[in-house]
Amino acid sequence: MMRRFPLAVWLFGLALAALTTLPYAVGSWSAPPGWQYSGAAAVPTGALVDFNSHIAKMWQGCRGQWAYHLLFTHEAHPGLPLVQGFYVALGALASLTPFSLPAVYHIARFALTAGMALAIWAFAAHFFEKPAERWLATLFGTIASGWSWLLLALDPAMTAELSPIEFWLTDAFNLLGALVMPHFAAAVIVQIIIVLAFEAWVRTPPPNPPIHGKGEYIVSPLVVLTLALAAQAIIQPYAALLFGPLLVILAAYHTFSARRLTWRRALWLLLPLGCYGALIIYQYAALYSHPVWAAFAEQNQTLSPPVTYYLLGYLPFILPLVPGLRAFLLDRPDDRWWLPILWVALVAMLLYAPFPTQRRYLLGVQTPLAALAAYGWSRAVQPRLRARLRPLASILYLGLASVALVGMLAVNIAALSEPFSHRAVFYNPDDLAAFAWMRRETTGRDDLVLTVTDAAGQGSGGRLVAALGQRVYLGHWIETADFAAKVADMRRFYDPAAPDDWRRQFLAVTGAVYVWYDEDARRFGNWNPAGAAYLEVVFSSGGVTIYRVIEESGSS
C-alpha cells in the first residue's frame, strides 16, 4: 500500500484532514468555562440537524442496539438492522474506546478524509501515467468546488430564495462533504473501490492468479467488487440507481463491443450485483413495512435546485472539460475513459428524474468530473500556454476553484470562535446541568421527552437526542413522523388559548413522561407549564425546567 502512494500524497491527505478538522478544534477551544461544544458545524445550518441524527445512530450502536430505531419520534416502531448501519457500527466502535461519541465521529471523519484523498489519487492513476496529471486530477477532486456563489452578484434575488449550492449542498463536492460528515468520505472511497475493482476484473485476463510474488495472496477483483457494493448499499443505498446501471452498461460494452468479456464470464457479474440488489430491496421493503418508517421515507425529500445552480456549481470542471473534448477526439484515448463519461452522464440524467432523492446522486460525481477536467486542462488548456506559465496558471485556476471551500472553512472557524453568538452548536451550563440530571434520574432512554423543533431544525429535540440518546417527541424534519403536524401540535400545546383538557389528553396519547421547557419552547407560545396541576417540576436551572407528567392526571 505504501509503495502505491507517494509520500507527498500521504502528506496531502493528512493536510486536508487536518484542515477540515480546524473549525472543530476552534469550537472545542472556544467553549467558555462551564460550556461544552457539541461537535457540530455551524454552517450550513442543516449540518447541526444531520449531526444530531448521526450521533443518535451512534448512541444505539454504542448500546449494542444493532436494529436502528428513530429516536426523534414518539410512535412505537420496529428497529431495522443494517439501515443507517455506518453510524450504528461507528457507535459500536466508540463503545470500545475512551472517547465521546462526537470525538469518535471526528476521528472517523479525519481518517476517512485522508483516505478519500488517497482513493482519488488511485482513481487518477488509473487514467494518467504522468504524476503531474495525477496531481491535477487529485486537486480537482478535492480542493476544487463550485462557482454558483457568483449568483450573489449576478442575481441576488435568486439567491435570496435559495443560497448557492457550495454553502448548503455539501453532497455535491467531495471535500465539502467530508468537512461535515464521515460517511460522505466513506461513500466516495467505496465508490472508487467499486469502479477500480470492476476495471481490474474486466481488464485482467482470466484466470486471475491467486498468488503473486513470494506468497502474496491477491484477492479476486470480483470478491472486492462484491464486498464494496455491499458496503455501498449500507452507506449510500440511494446510489443503486447510479451504480447498478453504470456497471451493467460497462459490462455490456466489454462483452459486445470490446470483447474483453465472454458471455460466461460476464454472467459472474450477477454475483456482486445480486448481493447489491438484495441489500437495496431489503432496505426499501423494510422502510415501507411500517407507517413510521414509511413517513420517514416520504419526508426524505432531496430535490434538485434549478439547473443554473448546477451549471455554475460545476463550472470550474466544465470550462477545461469543453476544450478537452476536441483533444479527446484527436487523441483517441483508450476506452477506460468511458467510465467517467458514463458516470457523469448518468448523474446528469438522475438529477431531475422523478425520484424524491435527486440530490443524493451528486455524492462522489466530482471524482469522474475531476479526471475529465484534468484531461482537458493538461491536454487542451496548458498546451496553449507558454511552458513557464503553466504551473502559475494551474495554481491560479485551482485557487479560484477553491474559493468556496476556503470560505466555508473561514465562516465555520469564525462562527465556532463565538459561542455566545452561535448557541445552537454549544451546550450552556443550564443544558449541561439538565443533561446530568436526566442521566442520573431518568428510568430509561425510552422515556419520552416532550420537546420542540422548528422547520429550520432549531430546538431542544435534536439537542437532547445528540447529548443523551433520549427518545423525544419532536426533533428532526425527516426522522420525526408527520413532522409538520407535530410542529402544529406543539404550537397549540404552548398556546395560552388551548384548554388544559386537550393538553392532558395530548400527553396521555403521546405517552410523554417529561416536558422539557426552555427558550425554544417559549418561542413556540406564551403558555407557561408552571401552573399546570398535571405537571410537577423535577429539575430547574436558569433557562431550563424539566417537568414530570403526573400519571393520575395524564391518564384521566
pLDDT of 45 reads 87
For the chain, what is the largest distance between any 2 Cα atoms, rounded to a whole number of angstroms? 85
- The C-alpha cell of 278 is what? 438484495
Tell me, yes or no, whether 14 lies in a domain: no
291 with 201, same domain? yes
In three-state secondary structure terms, 212 is: strand
How many Å apart are CA 436 and CA 429, to the nearest integer? 10
**140 shares its domain with 207:** yes
Are 172 and 303 members of one domain? yes
Query: Could you tell me if 387 and 434 lie in one domain?
Result: no
For the packed helices 390-401 and 315-331, what is the interaxial angle rounded to 10 degrees? 140
pLDDT tier at 553, thresholds 50, 70, 90: very low
Q: Which of the listed residues 409, 441, 465 is the one where a domain comes to its end?
A: 409
* Domain membership flag for residue 441: yes
Q: Tell me which of 409, 444, 462 is where a domain ends.
A: 409
Q: What pLDDT sits at residue 3? A: 53
Which whole number is the average pLDDT over 50-69?
Answer: 96
- Based on the domain organization, do 328 and 434 belong to the same domain? no
Are residues 242 and 179 part of one domain? yes
CA dist 485 → 136, 453, 501 (Å) = 50, 12, 19
User: Among 1-15, 55-69, 271-285, 380-394, which stretch is predicted with the lowest mean pLDDT?
Assistant: 1-15
Check whether residue 240 and residue 298 sit in a common domain: yes
Overall average pLDDT of the 399-414 stretch: 97
Indicate whether 542 belongs to any domain.
yes
Query: Would you place residue 208 in the very low, low, confident or very high pLDDT band (cuts 50, 70, 90)?
Result: low
Shared domain check, 296 and 258: yes
Average pLDDT, the chain: 94
Beta strand 80-81 with 67-68: parallel, antiparallel or unpaired? Answer: antiparallel
Which one is predicted more confidently, 455 or 548? Answer: 548
Question: Is 75 part of any domain?
Answer: no
Here the cell at position 413 is 472557524
Is the confidence at residue 328, as pLDDT, over 90? no
The CATH number of residue 525's host domain is 3.40.50
Average pLDDT on 498-506 reads: 96
Instruction: State if pTM tops 0.75.
Output: yes
C-beta separation of 93 from 167 below 8 A? no
pLDDT value at residue 215: 46
Place of cell 419552547: 521
pLDDT at 554: 39
Does residue 95 form part of some domain?
no
Same domain, residue pair 503 and 388 = no
Q: Are residues 521 and 549 in the same domain?
A: yes
Q: Are residues 253 and 229 in the same domain?
A: yes
pLDDT number for residue 457? 87
Mean pLDDT of 181-205: 96
Domain boundary (409, 437, 472) is at: 409
Closest residue by Cα to residue 40 from 60, 19, 65, 23: 23
- Domain-embedded: residue 64: no
Rg (CA), the chain: 26
| Same domain? 146 vs 286 | yes
Residue 500 lies in domain: 424-554
Question: What is the number of structural domains in the chain?
Answer: 2
Read off φ and ψ for residue 88, nearest 5 degrees: -60, -45
**Alpha carbons within 13 A on the beta-carbon side of 500:** 11
Least confident of 86-95, 173-182, 324-333: 324-333
* pLDDT for the residue numbered 207: 61
Inside any domain, residue 111 = no
Residue 536 reports pLDDT greater than 80? yes
3 domain residue, yes or no: no
